[in-house]
A and B are shown apart, each in its own frame.
Chain A
Amino acid sequence: AQKITQTQPGMFVQEKEAVTLDCTYDTSDQSYGLFWYKQPSSGEMIFLIYQGSYDEQNATEGRYSLNFQKARKSANLVISASQLGDSAMYFCAMRTSAGGTSYGKLTFGQGTILTVHP
């Protein structure tokens, strides 16, 4: 079974500083994808970044980067130069391809609430 673990219920960061949100995953599949979504207090789910299991480079999208350590089964999100608008819940999610296809189904972690202080 697939499992995503986010061990930090809450994190605090000062504006303009960098912060790392942890995510570890468990799967026996060789092919999988890891996603990070942001959920602001308004409730919508916003896609941030994706990392494929065969990607050799860490994914980056603007101020977001994914620190992918395959051997340790971790996919931490790094937000550089934090902004007040980054305050939100952040979810790590995994899509696996057991048997050749997953139909895109995602398994989510429990989330980390990030608060950015001015």
Chain B
Amino acid sequence: NAGVTQTPKFRILKIGQSMTLQCTQDMNHNYMYWYRQDPGMGLKLIYYSVGAGITDKGEVPNGYNVSRSTTEDFPLRLELAAPSQTSVYFCASSYYGQGTGDEQYFGPGTRLTVT
């Protein structure tokens, strides 16, 4: 199993540009999540999905969009990039989303700089 994979690893965007961060998991997990991590801070939830076709906002959704057409893929779209979106983005997945244990498995992250 590759686990959770994210592309690209690094990206520099100009203000106003758009891009899609890709996330794929091969563990047949129902639940998927996008977090952002600002320098020296903990992770904050952007969006999450409980299955194909079902997504919902997290704590910091403004400026982002998601879709979930398959169990495996959960892309994050940035429209009109702003410097405040400079961050490291992590995708994660879990099987049940609740219950005993059931930790989230994280991808390696995408480091995004908006200038």
Contacts and interface: CB of A to CB of B under 8 A. Distances in A.
Among A4, A35, A95, A110, the most chain B Cβ lie within 10 Å of the Cβ of A95
Interface in A1-35: 4, 33, 35
A28 B33 CA distance: 24
A77 B41 CA distance: 19
Interface residues of B, number: 30
Interface of B: 31, 33, 35, 40-45, 48, 50, 56, 58, 88, 90, 92, 94, 96-98, 100-106, 108-109, 111
17 contacts: A4-B42, A33-B100, A43-B88, A44-B106, A44-B108, A45-B92, A47-B104, A50-B103, A91-B42, A102-B98, A103-B50, A104-B98, A105-B33, A108-B35, A108-B42, A110-B40, A111-B42
